[in-house]
Amino acid sequence: MSNDQVAAINFNKPGAYRGDIVEETFKGFTVAHMPFWWHFREVLRASQREALYWIDSKGLKLPERDQKELVALSLIHYHVYLGLAEAISFFELMGYEVHRTSPHGWRAFETKKFWKAGYSSLYSSFNAICNIVCVVIGGMPVFRQKGSRAWSYSPADARKAAAMLKNADVLEILKNCDKQLEIRNHLDHFWLMWSVINKGIFLIDGNMKKGHIAIHPRQEINYNTDAVVHALNQLQQLAENYDKLYRMLSVTDGHLDQYLLKKGWMVDYSDYAAHDGKRPLP
């Protein structure tokens, strides 16, 4: 979808590409970087409760067990966006803490707190879209059972599914997302990354790799990367990679359509006034 096509969508049309107050608040970001997130939601007719428009090949409402799977898929899809929205909010707070007047030690604590929280939210978002990859593309159940417990999937499971299906495009996108989350992986596993934080300044080592422990920071660290700018750039790159996945998922005859076909499920759009009673098109 080109920028002109995105701009041409009437996002103010009742029921068409509209969301709750949180979705609408961050729409400027999602429309620019993740328009197919909205399209997936419209094609699925995502819902938090059972719906009459989820039907079988005979036109009958899906039974409760099948309804639960589509509700779960809807909730996972929403969490992809929610993690990004949380990260945007945390990174805004991080930038505020860097520039506001406060004692140095407190500035450093608050800045790092929001920095880590933002990356944790990004990772949570990535986990959610990896679950969609496993379920819709990989054909796995929404929840896998381990004994009496249900477990969700991990990014490693999504990469494995893409590799087994020999889907090089999906695998490459997942690997690109992993690269954007290397800071999160390091922070969660090793807890510390050397940085310089002063009023208006938050710098980190641009050559940081997960597991790099610098015991001589003056010799080993080059504080050449603005952490605030870097975080926002990585958030944007993640969203744009998500959009590539969502395009594969939600276009006509894409992975979502194939998933529903294999299940013997359909989505009834006949009462979908926002799209003239037809399957939504991007």
Percent of the chain past pLDDT 70, that is, above it, reads 93
Q: Is the pTM of this model over 0.95?
A: no
- List per-residue pLDDT tens for the chain, 282 residues long: 333 333 333 333 333 456 777 778 888 888 889 999 999 999 999 999 999 999 999 999 999 999 999 999 999 999 999 999 999 999 999 999 999 999 989 999 999 999 999 999 999 999 999 999 999 999 999 877 776 677 789 999 999 999 999 999 999 999 999 999 999 988 888 877 888 999 999 999 887 788 788 888 888 888 889 999 999 999 999 999 999 999 999 999 999 999 999 999 999 999 988 788 899 988
Q: 45-71 burial by CB neighbour count: b if 16+ within 10 A, else e?
A: bbbeeebeebbeeeeeebeeebbebbb
State pLDDT tens for residues 166-192. 999 999 999 999 999 999 988 888 877
pLDDT of residue 264: 96
pLDDT of residue 212: 80
State pLDDT tens for residues 76-98. 999 999 999 999 999 999 999 99
State pLDDT tens for residues 188-206. 888 778 889 999 999 998 8
Residues 6+ apart with CB under 8 A from 263: 66
Nearest to 173 by CA among 243, 236, 124: 243
Angle (CA) 281-2-30 rounded to 5° is 75
